[in-house]
Amino acid sequence: MNGVIVVDKAPGLSSAQALRPIKHCLTKGVRIGHTGTLDPFASGVLAVVLGNATRLSSYVMNMTKTYEALVCLGTKTDTLDCTGTIVEQKDPGPYRPFELLDAIEGQKGLIEQVPPAFSALKVQGERAYKLARQGKDVLLEPRSVMIYGIDLIAIRWPQVSLRIRCGSGTYIRSIARDIGAAMNLPSSLQSLRRTSVGPYEADARNTLRIESGVSLQPTDLSQRVQPIRSVIQNLKIPEVHLDLDEAYLIATGRAIQRNEWVGAATGTEVVAILNESPSPFLQVLAMTETQVGGWIKPRTVFSASRDWVEEEYKSLHA
């Protein structure tokens, strides 16, 4: 099985626990991975890659993500979320709309963000959350993250509901903390739901809901798995379409030459697509890159598509 399954994880499960029912349905040797961890208290989309699609994990991880977050102003916990111990409280006072909007606006765009102490980042070889649980000071350096937009959904003061679109590496708990800090208030995240990862949405018809104790059948996966090309199309990487002879060269690690790519910048990423694919799950043959003179060289070849090309080519040239 090769492709992407969109999982809607229920709160209370770790990301690893959400993958277990899927693993039990896979044949031995099929690789599986999720592309962006969700904390156990959070719910929502995990884009799960299977088989050859695991080669594209980094692409999916870098897709834009959308969250719905409930921020509680006036209360801060050590973990910056609802699972932690309260470490600071302050009367938030009356609702201050303009101050809130300014605080939200300050979190948009390319910002420098300090990750939470309770995170999986490493500090001198140790996970930050392990050091934090031991009561040790955890100093994490700020990192550049991209916040594409923050929309105010609802206000039940001192709780504020937000919709956040952001890039890879963003901590929503840090956004909650920093909005509060801009208003001179302690704050933390009360709830969090990831509603989309790139094109993969929580409320899509083919989304697989995973709750504690759920049992799955192989058909539950086969009915929902999406082809590798669903990843590629979202990235808008240029494509080159191959006949069988060209596909055989790429499949066996050799380059092909195309006049239309003469003059392209060396190293331009191009997706090799099979013109005569027998299945949408075999359309993508390889990730390739351009070289001088219009040559296109394979970089990552997907084994399922390669096997079909080699078998088809040999049967026609027997």
Strand runs (DSSP E) across the chain, as ranges? 3-9, 32-34, 43-50, 65-73, 75-77, 86-89, 109-113, 122-123, 126-127, 143-156, 159-166, 187-197, 200-201, 208-210, 239-242, 256-257, 269-274, 284-291, 295-301
Contact by Cβ (8 Å): 70, 152: no
Residue 232 near residue 284 (C-beta atoms within 8 A): yes
State the Cα–Cα distance between residues 17 and 25, nearest whole angstrom: 14
Q: How far apart are the first and last CA of the chain?
A: 29
224 dihedral zone (left: phi>0; alpha: psi -120 to 50; beta): alpha
Cα 231 versus chain centre, distance: 11
Please pick, among 39, 78, 81, 178, the residue that the annotation labels catalytic. 39
Calculate the CA dihedral of residues 306, 301, 61, 1 and round it to 10 degrees.
20
Q: Can 39 be counted among the known catalytic residues?
A: yes
CA gap 214, 145 in Å, rounded: 35
Q: How far apart are CA 143 and CA 169, in angstroms?
A: 9
Place of tokens 């199309």: 233
H or E, element range at 229: helix 229-235
Kindly list the catalytic residues: 39
